[in-house]
Amino acid sequence: MDYSKFIARASEVFKASEIRELLKVVEARKVISFAGGYPDPQVFPRESLARIASDVILNYGDKALQYSPTKGVTVFRQTLLKYLKDNNVRISSNDDVIVTTGSQQSLDIVSRTLVDPGDYIITENPTYLAALTAFRTARPNIIGIPIDERGMKTDVLEEKLRNLKSSGIRVKFVYTIPVAHNPAGATMSSERKKHLLELASRYDFIVIEDDPYSFFVYDEADVTRLKTLDSEDRVVYISTMSKTLSPGLRVGWILGPQQLVDVFERAKQSMDLHTPTLSQYIAKEAIEKGVVSETAEKARRIYRVKRDVMFNTLSESMVEKSWWVKPVGGLFLMVWLPPEIDTKEMLPTAINEGVVYVPGASFFVDESGRNTMRLNFSYPSIEEIRSGIEILGKVVRRKLGR
C-alpha cells in the first residue's frame, strides 16, 4: 500500500539528515569515519555512572522512576543553577531554567515558540545543521552571516540589520555558537561578543546562545558567555550534558527570562511531558559528586591530543589554498578546499579509499560551501585520524590533477 495520501503536507519539512543517511551506508563497511559527532566512549565515566544509577534507583526510586514536573526535577534544577554559577554563567534575578531532552529539544522549543512563518532569523553561515532543521520547521526566512576565525562577522551582521530595518523588517533572534563552533571550529572574540550584544539592544532582538563546548577547552581561550556579558536579559542560553557526561542520558537545558521559560514549558508539555526523571537524578548526583567536572577534564585531555593530530596532519597533507581554523574546543574542524573541489561529488571516491566525512554544503544556509567538509576528531582513534587525513589529502590532490 502507498501511504503517501496519509502523510501531512507539513511533514515535508522533515528531510532525512544527509549525515544520518550517510552513516547508515558506511556502517556496514570498514571505513575511517570523520562523519559523526560522537564522543569517544573512553570519556564516559562508566563505573561512576553505574554506581550512581544503582544508588539512585535503590534509594530514591520512588521519585526517580516516577513522572516529574515539565520544567525539570526541582532538586536537579537547583543543582544545575549552582553548577552554572560555579562555571561563571551569570544568572539574573529574572532568569529561570527548564530542563530539556538534550539541547536538540531546546532548539525545537525555541523554533516552535518564537518563530512564526515568514519571520526573519539570523544564524552564522555555516551553522549547526540540526539547528537549521529545527528552525526550518517553523518556515522562517533565515539569513546567514559569514564566519572567520574570530566567529560571526558582526560588521556584516550590522550592515544586514541596517538594510533589513530600512525595509521595515524586524529580526526575531540571532542564533550563535560562540565557542568551538560546530561545524566551523571558530570561537567568537570578546569584541565581537560585545558588538553582537550592542546590536541586539539597538535593533531589539533576542540572542540564542548554543553552548555545548565551553566547559572543556583545549587552549587558553576567553569563553565568557554572552549570557554573562548580557545586561539586558536578551540572551537565551542553551547547553547540555551530552559532552560532559553522556549524550545517551539526553539532558540539556534552556536558561532565560521567566516570561519566555513559561512559554517554553507549555510547549515542552505537549512534546514529552518531561525529560526522563531518572536521567535528571543521575545528572544531579554526577554534578554533586564531581563526576561531571572529571568527565569534562578527561574530554579535554583526550580530545586535545586528537585535535592536534588532525590539525598537524592536515597541515602536512592538504593542498595549498585550503584553510581551516584550529578549534580551541569542540569536536569538529571544517576544511575549506580550493573552489574547484565539490566535496559532495568527491565523497564516493573518498569512501572507496576508506574515509568518510560530511560534505559541508548542508551546514550553509544558502547551500554555498560546496568546497567544504566537516571532520570529526573525537571519535576516531589517533592512528585513524593520521591515516584518514593522509588519504583525504591524496584524494583531493588527485581530483585537482596534482
Ligand X SMILES: Cc1ncc(COP(=O)(O)O)c(C=O)c1O
Pick 97 or 318: Cβ nearer ligand X: 97
Concatenate the DSSP letters of all residues of 172-223 into one string.
EEEEE--SS-TTT-----HHHHHHHHHHHHHHT-EEEEE-SSTTSBSS----
Size of the site for ligand X (CB under 6 A): 13
Residues 6 or more apart in contact with residue 288 via CB below 8 angstroms: 79
Pick 291 or 396: Cβ nearer ligand X: 291
Can residue 111 be called a binding residue for ligand X (CB under 6 A)?
Answer: no
Min dist CB 342 to ligand X, Å, is 25
Can residue 372 be called a binding residue for ligand X (CB under 6 A)?
Answer: no
Nearest to 144, CA basis, from 299, 395, 362: 362
Only segment of 98-106, 137-145, 270-278, 389-397 that touches ligand X (CB under 6 A): 98-106
Can residue 104 be called a binding residue for ligand X (CB under 6 A)?
Answer: yes
d(CA 217, CA 228): 18
Supply the angle between the helices 291-317 and 382-399 in degrees, to the nearest 10. 30
Residues 6 or more apart in contact with residue 343 via CB below 8 angstroms: 337, 357, 359, 360, 361, 370, 371, 372, 373
Q: Which of residues 138-157 bind ligand X (CB under 6 A)?
A: none
Q: Which of residues 15-54 bind ligand X (CB under 6 A)?
A: 37
Only segment of 56-64, 90-98, 101-109, 132-140 that touches ligand X (CB under 6 A): 101-109
Min dist CB 241 to ligand X, Å, is 8
Can residue 242 be called a binding residue for ligand X (CB under 6 A)?
Answer: yes
Radius of gyration of the chain (CA): 21
Min dist CB 36 to ligand X, Å, is 10
Only segment of 14-22, 240-248, 349-357, 366-374 that touches ligand X (CB under 6 A): 240-248
Q: Which of residues 176-205 bind ligand X (CB under 6 A)?
A: 177, 182
70 neighbors 109 (Cβ within 8 angstroms)? no
Can residue 102 be called a binding residue for ligand X (CB under 6 A)?
Answer: yes
Min dist CB 127 to ligand X, Å, is 8
Strand 32-33, strand 252-257: pairing: unpaired
Min dist CB 17 to ligand X, Å, is 12
Can residue 128 be called a binding residue for ligand X (CB under 6 A)?
Answer: yes
The torsion region of residue 378 among left (phi > 0), alpha (psi -120 to 50) and beta comes to alpha
Only segment of 48-56, 239-247, 260-268, 288-296 that touches ligand X (CB under 6 A): 239-247
d(CA 308, CA 288): 32
Q: Angle at Cα 127 formed by Cα 106 and Cα 340, nearest 5°?
A: 160
Pure H helices in 28-179: 46-64, 74-86, 102-114, 129-136, 154-166
Only segment of 49-57, 96-104, 279-287, 379-387 that touches ligand X (CB under 6 A): 96-104
Cα of first residue to Cα of last residue in the chain, in angstroms, is: 52
Can residue 252 be called a binding residue for ligand X (CB under 6 A)?
Answer: yes
Only segment of 102-110, 154-162, 333-341, 377-385 that touches ligand X (CB under 6 A): 102-110
Nearest to 260, CA basis, from 229, 236, 240: 236
Q: Which of residues 158-177 bind ligand X (CB under 6 A)?
A: 177
Can residue 371 be called a binding residue for ligand X (CB under 6 A)?
Answer: no
d(CA 237, CA 250): 17
Min dist CB 71 to ligand X, Å, is 17
List contacts with ligand X (CB under 6 A): 37, 102-104, 128, 177, 182, 210, 212, 240, 242, 247, 252
